[in-house]
Amino acid sequence: MPAKGGLFPKALVRQTKGVFIMIIILKNGASKGEVEKLIHSIESLGGITANTIIGEHSSIIGLVGDTSQLNEDDIAASDAVEAVKRVQEPYKMANRKFHPDDTVIPVGEASVGGGALAMIAGPCSVESEEQIVAVAKSVKESGASMLRGGAFKPRTSPYAFQGLHDEGIRLLLKAKKETGLPIVTEIMSIEHLELFADVDVIQVGARNMQNFELLKALGHCGKPILLKRGLSSTLEELLMSAEYIMAGGNGNVILCERGIRTFETATRNTLDLSAVPMLKRLSHLPVIIDPSHACGIAWMVEPMARGAVAVGADGLIVEVHNNPPKALCDGKQSITPAAFDELMKGLRPMAALMGRTL
Ligand code: PEP
Ligand code: MN
């Protein structure tokens, strides 16, 4: 007689509450004592049930419950263990399986996720009041939904322009006051968090994607976080970093693909457009694309932005400078306000085709 609602004979069904599954394959000849010790150490964490299946040649322990608290490598270190396989993803709050609907993050009058295409535009770095206010006004005129601008800049060289720091944030707030555009700017250190009190979206740059203490602090800051993918990070690592922020109680995380390191040298990085549909399948969080840092070349921003919209991105973050040759940072990849206006015009029919408002 089949079990209620199931495919299996009742005798084979042992119902255990829990959403995650992990399988431990035991070594041939693992001793009973070692196996019992292992099971005890796992079950004593709470919320996990271990079911042992003894075969003639190999045996397994099936774990059901909150296995997100387990580390495969720690389990594999046991003398009794041959291999460990996680059947489900190690992240839960960011996982679409447990949150099927898309997350929509409101930012002032704009929102990221859902039906809108969020357009974040502005210079790499805030350089002066004239510069940031002029760029803010022009990108607003073209239809941008948020203003970007770095005040704390992560530069490869300690001798390069490092940003205007607190003065940069003050100038961004000035530009916000003049245009009404919400502001997005990067944090590099927990110590600076207080300076971000009036910032609308806090950006975590590629280099800090795995700064776990920073991520934990941002889990409590109550502001949307724009989390950029690390230069050589996998999508799972990106989602685990989002999980750090979400585990602290902040569910407003925007994921951003900004190009990854490959062997290719023709572009600054390689834009991984496949990250968009994959992340959106794995997670309910909105995903945006940064074509500027991905390619590092101004003329490539437009075709890659179109590609991003075509694969379902929820938005774009684009570097726009009023005088790219004179920019203090990333001038080569910055487009002019006029080019941004053209970009917006070109994206509108594409966005409409994808069912998005722009
Ligand atoms: C930036 O957006 O200015 C920036 C430094 O980006 P990334 O962290 O992606 O390099
Ligand atoms: Mn930049």
197-206 tens-digit pLDDT: 999 999 999 9
Give residue 17's pLDDT band: very low, low, confident or very high (50, 70, 90): low
Q: Report the nearest-CA residue for atom 6 of ligand 1.
A: 205
Residue-wise pLDDT tens digits, 247-296: 999 999 999 999 999 999 999 999 999 999 999 999 999 999 999 999 99
Return the amino acid letter for 325: P
Residue-wise pLDDT tens digits, 50-93: 999 988 888 999 999 888 888 899 999 999 999 999 888 889 99
Measured from CB, residues less than 6 Å from any atom of ligand 1 are 124, 150, 154, 186, 205-207, 228, 258, 290, 293
What percent of the chain stands above pLDDT 70? 95
| Euclidean distance between CA atoms 324 and 331, whole angstroms | 4
Are 345 and 303 spatial neighbours (Cβ–Cβ below 8 Å)?
A: no
Tell which residue, 108, 176, 116, 120, has the closest CA to residue 320. Answer: 120
Residue-wise pLDDT tens digits, 338-353: 999 999 999 999 999 9
pLDDT of residue 262: 98
3-state secondary structure 111-138: EECCCECEEEEECCECCCHHHHHHHHHH
pLDDT of residue 4: 46
Span from the CA of 262 to the centroid of ligand 2 (angstroms) = 19
pLDDT of residue 90: 87
pLDDT of residue 1: 39
CB atoms within 10 A of CB 36: 12
Provide the pairing of β-strand 225-228 with 201-204.
parallel
Span from the CA of 51 to the centroid of ligand 1 (angstroms) = 47
Q: Residue holding tokens 């921003």?
A: 301
Span from the CA of 255 to the centroid of ligand 1 (angstroms) = 13
| Euclidean distance between CA atoms 202 and 151, whole angstroms | 11
Residue-wise pLDDT tens digits, 147-171: 999 999 999 999 999 999 999 999 9
pLDDT of residue 67: 87
- CB-based burial, 197-235: b 16+ in 10 Å, e otherwise: eebbbbbbbbebbbbeebbebbbebebbbbbbbbeebeb
Count CA atoms within 13 Å of residue 138 on its CB side: 20
Count CA atoms within 13 Å of residue 241 on its CB side: 26
Provide the pairing of β-strand 105-107 with 110-112.
antiparallel
Res 3 pLDDT > 70? no
Q: Report the nearest-CA residue for atom 3 of ligand 1.
A: 124
Res 6 pLDDT > 80? no
Q: Residue holding tokens 């495919």?
A: 7
pTM over 0.85: yes
pLDDT of residue 12: 53
Q: Ligand nearest 154 Cα, by number?
A: 1
Given CA atoms 96, 102, 104, 110 in this order, what sign does their dihedral have?
positive
CB atoms within 10 A of CB 63: 26
Q: Write the DSSP assignment of 6-74 as a string of letters.
A: SSSBGGG------SEEEEEEEPTT--HHHHHHHHHHHHTTSSEEEEEEE-SS-EEEEEEE-GGG--HHH
Are 186 and 169 spatial neighbours (Cβ–Cβ below 8 Å)?
A: no
Stretch 182-209: mean pLDDT: 98
Q: Distance of alpha carbon 108 from its chain centroid, rounded?
A: 21
Tell which residue, 186, 187, 235, 244, has the closest CA to residue 213. Answer: 244
Mean pLDDT score of the chain, rounded to an integer? 94
